[in-house]
Structure formats: structure tokens, C-alpha cells
């Protein structure tokens, strides 16, 4: 019984911590995603690198605090392994700064590492939108799709330069993939092809829902407008009917 009570206390404490830190972590997650995009497109200045590292340390501290409090640690790790991956990858990027790890500067390895970080940032995007929106409706899907497009474009620009000459070109290309329209350009690098495939799968899975939701919204407005017109027409018919009835009663009285 004491064990069950302790577990419940841990669950309650974990819930309270999440309630307290949700909003600050959402803001930090947005900044984190922006820094990822800036890093892949332009590179980070020393100040921004420091800011990114501070945010990374905060995320790590939050993860290990929740892991320590969680009553079932294996279950927590199993449910949050992508979060752990997204926190582990920046450490590998930092190792590239040291001379003892020059092997990490091999181009193919760096691109693979960047791909893994892009994919883990998608998971961070999902968590951020889920925490910010609460409920999963059309607004949730649209915001998540916007984040996926911005981060995916940064990845494509990093992998496919000079095929994609600017981040604007990469963003346009990614937007065309997300909307299932497609583009004349096809990725040349293995990482670019993998990312393009995953973006296409996401678009295939989600764009049908967006289209159906927008169509339902438009049809719903059409039905609402049609119902209003019908109600107005019925009111007009009823008014005319009342006037005709009054006229007939008057004529009937005059006839008598």
C-alpha cells in the first residue's frame, strides 16, 4: 500500500512539474527550433551557440528530473526515447569542435548526423505543438505542418546545396512537397532523399485530413448560409400568407 501511495505521489509531483514548466519549455522549444533552422542555413554566432547550449542543458535537466521522479523509469524512457535522442545528438555536434574528434568532420557522417538532428527536431515540434494547443484539431495540424515545413526546408537546404540555391528555394520546394504538388528538382544526396521521402509520407498522411477539414469547413459555411436563406424565405412566405389572410377577411366582411 505504501508503495502504491509513493508511486501516486510521484505521479502527482510529475504532473505538477509539467504544469509549472510547460509554458517556459514551450517558449524554449520554439527558440530551439529557430536556432536549428538558423544553424543549418547560416550557422550560429558564438552568442547564439551559447544560447543553444544553455537551452540544451535546460532540456537535459528537465528530462533527468522527470526521469528521476517517474515511478516507472523504464516506461518513461520507452515513451520518451525520441526526446532522449534529440538531447543526445547536440552532444555529438559539440564533439566536432575538439581536435581529438576530427574524424567526425567526415562529410557523410556530418550529413547523417544533421539528418538525425532534423528528425529529432520534428519530434520536438510535435511535442511543442501538442503542449501549446492541448487539443488536436485543424489548428494543431496546420501549426505542426508549418513547423515541419520550416525545419524540413532547413534540412533540405543543408543537404542539397548548391542544388537549392537559398533557404527560400528550399522552403518553396518543401512547401510543394507538403502540398503534394511536387517539384522539378529531386534530391541528389542520400540524406536529402531520405528527408524528402519522409516529408512526402507526412504530406500523404496529413494533407488529406487538411483538405477534408477545409472542405468540411467551407461546406459547413455553405449549409449555414443556405439554412439562413431558407429561414428568411419561410419568414417571407409566412408574412405574405398573413397579409393574404387579412385581405380575405376584410373582403369577406365587405361582402357581408
**Domain locations along the chain:** 1-134
Question: Does 178 have pLDDT greater than 80?
Answer: yes
The C-alpha cell that represents 187 in the structure block: 534530391
pLDDT above 70: percentage of residues in the chain: 69
pLDDT tier for residue 110 given thresholds of 50, 70 and 90: low
More reliable by pLDDT, 240 or 31:
31
With cut-offs at 50, 70 and 90, classify the pLDDT of residue 208: confident
Split at pLDDT 50, 70, 90, the class of 113 is low
Q: What is the average pLDDT across 26-35?
A: 84
| Matching residue, cell 538525425 | 116
DSSP letter (8 states) at residue 135: S
Q: Are 163 and 235 in contact (CB under 8 A)?
A: no
171 band by pLDDT with thresholds 50, 70 and 90 = very high
Residue 169's pLDDT band, with cuts at 50, 70 and 90, is very high
pLDDT (average), residues 208-217: 72
- CA atoms of 181 and 173, how far apart (whole Å): 10
Question: The domain 1-134: what is its CATH number?
Answer: 1.20.120
CA distances from 20 to 14, 62, 92, 205 (A): 10, 12, 30, 34
- What is the average pLDDT across 154-165? 89
The pLDDT, as a whole number, for residue 163 is 86
**What average pLDDT does the chain have?**
75
pLDDT number for residue 242: 63
Report yes or no: 124 and 98 within 8 Å, Cβ to Cβ: no
Q: What is the CA radius of gyration of the chain?
A: 28
The rounded distance, in Å, linking the Cα atoms of 93 and 36 is 12
Amino acid 157: pLDDT: 92
Model confidence at 68, pLDDT cuts 50, 70, 90, reads confident
Amino acid at each position: 500500500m505504501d508503495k502504491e501511495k509513493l508511486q501516486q505521489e510521484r505521479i502527482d509531483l510529475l504532473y505538477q512539474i509539467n504544469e509549472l514548466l510547460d509554458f517556459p519549455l514551450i517558449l524554449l522549444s520554439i527558440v530551439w527550433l529557430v536556432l536549428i533552422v538558423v544553424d543549418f542555413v547560416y550557422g550560429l554566432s558564438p552568442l547564439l551557440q551559447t544560447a543553444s547550449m544553455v537551452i540544451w542543458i535546460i532540456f537535459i535537466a528537465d528530462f533527468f528530473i522527470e526521469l528521476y521522479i517517474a515511478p516507472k523509469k523504464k516506461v518513461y524512457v520507452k515513451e520518451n526515447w525520441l526526446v532522449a535522442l534529440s538531447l543526445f545528438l547536440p552532444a555529438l555536434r559539440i564533439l566536432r569542435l575538439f581536435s581529438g574528434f576530427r574524424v567526425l568532420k567526415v562529410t557523410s557522417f556530418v550529413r547523417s548526423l544533421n539528418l538525425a538532428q532534423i528528425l529529432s527536431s520534428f519530434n520536438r515540434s510535435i511535442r511543442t505543438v501538442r503542449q501549446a494547443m492541448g487539443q488536436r484539431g485543424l489548428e494543431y495540424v496546420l501549426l505542426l505542418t508549418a513547423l515541419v515545413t520550416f525545419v524540413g526546408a532547413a534540412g533540405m537546404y543543408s543537404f542539397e546545396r548548391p542544388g537549392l540555391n537559398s533557404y527560400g528555394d528550399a522552403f518553396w520546394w518543401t512547401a510543394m512537397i507538403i502540398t503534394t504538388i511536387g517539384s522539378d528538382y529531386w534530391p541528389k544526396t542520400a540524406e536529402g532523399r531520405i528527408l524528402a521521402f519522409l516529408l512526402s509520407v507526412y504530406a500523404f498522411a496529413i494533407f488529406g485530413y487538411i483538405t477534408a477539414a477545409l472542405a468540411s469547413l467551407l461546406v459547413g459555411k455553405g449549409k449555414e448560409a443556405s439554412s439562413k436563406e431558407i429561414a428568411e424565405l419561410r419568414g417571407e412566405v409566412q408574412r405574405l400568407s398573413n397579409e393574404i389572410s387579412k385581405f380575405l377577411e376584410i373582403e369577406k366582411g365587405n361582402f357581408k
